Chain A
Amino acid sequence: MGITLFLHYARLRLKERMEYRAAFILGVFAQILGYGATYLVLWLTLQKFDNIGGWNWPEIALLYSLNVLTYALGAAYTYTPMTDLEKLVQQGTFDPILIRPHSPFLTLTAQMFNVGYLAHILLSGAILAWSVLQLQIEWTLLKVIFLTLSVIGGACLHAALLTLIGSISLIIVRADVLFRFNYSMQDFISYPISIFGPAIQILLTTIVPLAFINFLPAALILGKGTGVIPRDIAFITPVVGPILMWLAYRSFQFCTNRYQGAGG
């Protein structure tokens, strides 16, 4: 599936949302308010404590914005199809997707692209830009490339986790517990994970490698300590996301084939 086809799908999704313009705008505002509240809580905390684990307010703002921005980029394509998958299977609307001339994963993610993540991108993008300006980082070409690749990698990581859970839902049908688990894990990475115990730090770099989304790349750019985790591991950030995405894609294919064998 080429990029022009993906854009064609995205354009139709946008046009579709514009049919209910008021609902769309309201939704965008609601999301901005919701995430805005989290920013506010972080800001208030830092007013009182000055820093969290050695990270001041602009640094925390950068850390959290990186998480929200990459989440929005990944979830725009994967959140809606993956959380709706069990419904699609029950209603039989998953079947026509299997007889399209592209892979079911690509068809599904393009067809169910969610324009609503514009809200997250606007908010986190603006705050990210602000924090970068505040921090007076010595930018080198390498750092710019690293940050860009980290954002792409983080988006892949978020998408991979949602896709993995989605593909599991093809087999066990009810996977909302797993989605909830995924979101509770994400609460950890609103903060520098060096403030947690070593077990959690290791968990978040290995089994559920959320640390690669924001903590490790931010720590590398800002020159921060990384607890028990060696900081140099952050250099692999740009490849962790794509590798996991590829694994998630394969698992989705595997589970689709199993679905076809079992018949739902």
Chain B
Amino acid sequence: MAIVEVTGLNKEFRRNRRHQGAFGAVRTLFSREYSIHRAVQDVSFSIEEGEAVGYVGPNGAGKSTTIKMLTGILVPTSGDILVDGRVPHEHRQENARILGAVFGQRSQLWWDLPVIDSFELHQHVYGIADGDYRRTLGFCREVLQLDSFLQAPVRQLSLGQRMRAEMAMALLHEPKILFLDEPTIGLDVLAKDRIREFLRTINRERNVTIILTTHDLKDIEEICPRLIMINQGTVMFDNTVAHLKSTVGDEREIKIEFATDPGAIEIPAGTLVRDAGASKTIRFAQDNGSVMALLSELDGRYPIRDVSIEEVSIEDVIRKLYIQTGQNAPDSSEIDTWSRHRAVTR
């Protein structure tokens, strides 16, 4: 049985209409006009126990709104959600015991107290038996390497350390599902790697279902075999990461700085997209061999000073998906949430 079952989910937000002009403020006060913003529209998916799913989309796409409905924080406007067989917003307190949540930009730790104090309180809030608590904490301490800062006040931790502590706390009551809202935001490469490694481990070894939102496609590649992409509130892709790549083509842009302007060069597997003399940008498809092979081939002929590989952004992938499905790609101004508003008067 699926652990998360979402069918025909909708969420609308109402906003009072503000009036412009001389008496705008007064009119705003007395008017019953409002506009409806459809944050999530007819979203359906189901997630099996032990899956790791990436939930991605641009800002304002409805990711956080969906997560809030799955955790029971928000009530859907219409549609059904079942998490572990229960409707989340009706069984918030029971569901709390089987889910863990990490919000990247909001700490759940006690800012001025040692990390261990937050953990011990969590043990009592969730009524975790001493033995279980010690075992889970031991596991987290080892895998997340918490020992060096377990006694330090949270305010003194680096962002990477704080995120590791947040992860450990979310796992102490051994939840079946872990929700992560942008867990790697603002972290350096090393810290990101640690977090990803940990999430992979708990997913594979402890069979914890993971649902994470992110802006970093690398998070998805390394943790989640499956990807659900939403834009403007609707699901536009739900399949494996491998499938996404074969659909949109796994193209990357490589910017190469040559020691001197090599003039016209011969590129074995790729096309030249920008040429500024000594600095050239090459678009390269991954199916034509590895980047390293291309580079070593070029390096043999022309001295290379520097290379940078542009990461594929989620916005790019979405734009490509739009083109492939024959829809018009939205330009960035259209992603603005205001354009989705439909005025209603009552």
Identify the A interface with B (CB < 8 A): 4-5, 8-9, 12, 15-16, 19-20, 91-93, 95-96, 98-103, 257, 260-263
Our pick among A16, A102, A263 for the contact of B125 (Cβ within 8 Å) is A102
Known: A262-B14, A263-B13, A263-B74. A95 touches B110 (CB 8 A): no
Please give me the residue from chain B that is nearest to A98 by CB atom. B73
8 A Cβ contacts from B77-135 to A: 89, 92-97, 99, 101, 103, 105-106, 108, 110, 112-113, 117, 121, 124-127
B-chain residues with CB within 8 Å of residue A102 when the two chains form the complex: 93, 125
Please give me the residue from chain A that is nearest to B126 by CB atom. A101
A-chain residues with CB within 8 Å of residue B101 when the two chains form the complex: 96, 99
Our pick among B72, B108, B127 for the contact of A98 (Cβ within 8 Å) is B72
Do most interface residues of chain B lie in helix, strand or loop, or is the interface mixed? mixed
**Interface pairs (30), CB distance under 8 Å:** A4-B124, A5-B124, A8-B121, A9-B121, A12-B113, A15-B113, A19-B112, A93-B106, A95-B68, A95-B73, A96-B101, A96-B103, A96-B106, A98-B71, A98-B72, A98-B73, A99-B71, A100-B93, A100-B96, A101-B93, A101-B96, A101-B125, A101-B127, A260-B73, A260-B74, A262-B13, A262-B14, A263-B13, A263-B68, A263-B74
Q: How many A-B residue pairs have CB under 8 A?
A: 72
B157 in the interface (beta carbon within 8 A): no
B-chain residues with CB within 8 Å of residue A99 when the two chains form the complex: 71-73, 92, 95-96, 99, 101
Q: Is the pair A260, B124 in contact by a Cβ cutoff of 8 Å?
A: no
6 A-B pairs with least C-beta separation: A101-B96, A261-B75, A19-B112, A260-B75, A98-B73, A16-B112
A-chain residues with CB within 8 Å of residue B74 when the two chains form the complex: 260-261, 263
Please give me the residue from chain A that is nearest to B95 by CB atom. A99
B-chain residues with CB within 8 Å of residue A261 when the two chains form the complex: 74-75
B337 in the interface (beta carbon within 8 A): no
Q: How far is the CA of A178 from the CA of B117 in the complex (A)?
A: 36
B-chain residues with CB within 8 Å of residue A93 when the two chains form the complex: 106
Identify the B interface with A (CB < 8 A): 11, 13-14, 39, 65, 68, 71-75, 89, 92-97, 99, 101, 103, 105-106, 108, 110, 112-113, 117, 121, 124-127, 153
Q: How far is the CA of A93 from the CA of B99 in the complex (A)?
A: 18
